[in-house]
A and B are shown apart, each in its own frame.
Chain A
Amino acid sequence: MAFNYDQYIRGGKLPHIWCPGCTYGIVFKSLLRVVDTLKLNRDDIALVSGIGCASRLPGYVDFNTLHTTHGRALGFATGIKMAKPDKHVLVVSGDGDATAIGGNHFIHACRRNIDITVLVFNNFIYGMTGDSTPRRPRPATWPPRCRTATWTRPSTSRNWRRARGASFVARGTAYHAAGLDRLIIDAIQHKGLSVVEIINACPTTHGRRNKFKTPRTCSYG
């Protein structure tokens, strides 16, 4: 039988704001499947976000949700976890929100190893807030003068854990949805700060401005 996503969705909040071709919906569904697989009570979940396309996700799910300020999701999430340590606190954040604007909170959440799961939606761009340069490396197949690729040293999942001390770091992609479910399950079950970077495609802002021919080439080469 097909999975019933409706049970976790706030129907009144739909339609969502994500553009055609955006892969955030795939990750959204993956998260709902994980919650169902782990048999988590929706009242025991706190889903926190900052600002950006990814950060609109909590509006659509029927958990305890908090839509906060740009880059500050981890700060709010830390407060929730401290006050309610028995709750499953999840953060959904874009790459800019989590590692650039929210870099300071990110560093200290990793250092503290607080039991929060952070899903970093990496679409290689500030999609909603307008085409700023992200902090992530570009795939080799992107053109060297790619308008939205960083020209400074990038921030990568590997150096997050080296520099910041996160005790669980994983990377998945929206194109490997089954594998992504497994990574999010492992992250939620991990005791301590767990970070899952999820590679996504942004064909509307990132793809169009860089003249990528297909959504897939936006992120995957």
Chain B
Amino acid sequence: MKDTFIPAVAFDKLPPEKTAGKFPMGVLFKKEGVPEYCETYYGMAERVRKQKEGRS
């Protein structure tokens, strides 16, 4: 088990022959600042509502 799971940071530095059949463990990927769906949706709904109010 100890040899099968390797911390992701160490895993990325190993050559492919040493990572065959092994798995990285920990945070594999993280990206901040990607638009979140609900915020985008409710933001859009608010914009549309204001546009409609402006027309009437």
Q: Which positions 1-48 of chain B face chain A at CB distance < 8 Å?
A: 1, 3-5, 8, 20-32, 34-39, 41-42
Chain B's interface: helix, strand, loop or mixed, by majority? mixed
Q: A166-B29, A183-B26 are in contact. Are A81 and B38 (CB under 8 A)?
A: yes
Given that A85-B42, A199-B5 are known contacts, is A169 also in contact with B22, CB under 8 Å in the complex?
A: no
Which residues of A line the B interface, CB within 8 A? 81-82, 85, 112-115, 139-141, 157-158, 161, 165-173, 175-176, 179, 183, 186, 190-192, 199, 216, 220-221
* Given A168-B30, A179-B26, CB of A112 within 8 Å of CB of B4: no
Known: A85-B38, A114-B37. Is A191-B32 also a contact (CB below 8 A)? yes
25 contacts between A and B (CB under 8 A): A82-B41, A113-B35, A113-B37, A114-B36, A114-B38, A139-B4, A140-B4, A141-B21, A158-B28, A161-B28, A165-B34, A167-B31, A167-B34, A168-B31, A169-B27, A170-B27, A171-B23, A172-B25, A172-B26, A176-B25, A179-B25, A183-B27, A190-B30, A199-B5, A221-B4
A220, B1: Cβ atoms closer than 8 Å: yes
Complex CA gap A152/B47 in Å reads 47
Question: Which partner residue on chain B sits nearest A112 by CB separation?
Answer: B37
With the chains together, A165 CA to B36 CA distance in Å? 12
Interface size on B, residues (CB 8 A): 26
Residues of B within 8 A of A168 (CB): 27, 29-31
- Asked, given contacts A191-B32, A220-B1, whether A186 binds B27 with beta carbons under 8 Å apart, the answer is yes
B41, chain A: closest CB distance, angstroms = 7
A186 contacts across to B, CB distance below 8 A = 27, 30
**A139 engages B21 (CB within 8 Å):** yes
Chain B residues near A161: list those with CB within 8 A. 28-29
Closest Cβ of chain B to A12, distance in Å, is 34
Whether the pair A171, B28 counts as a contact (CB closer than 8 A) is yes
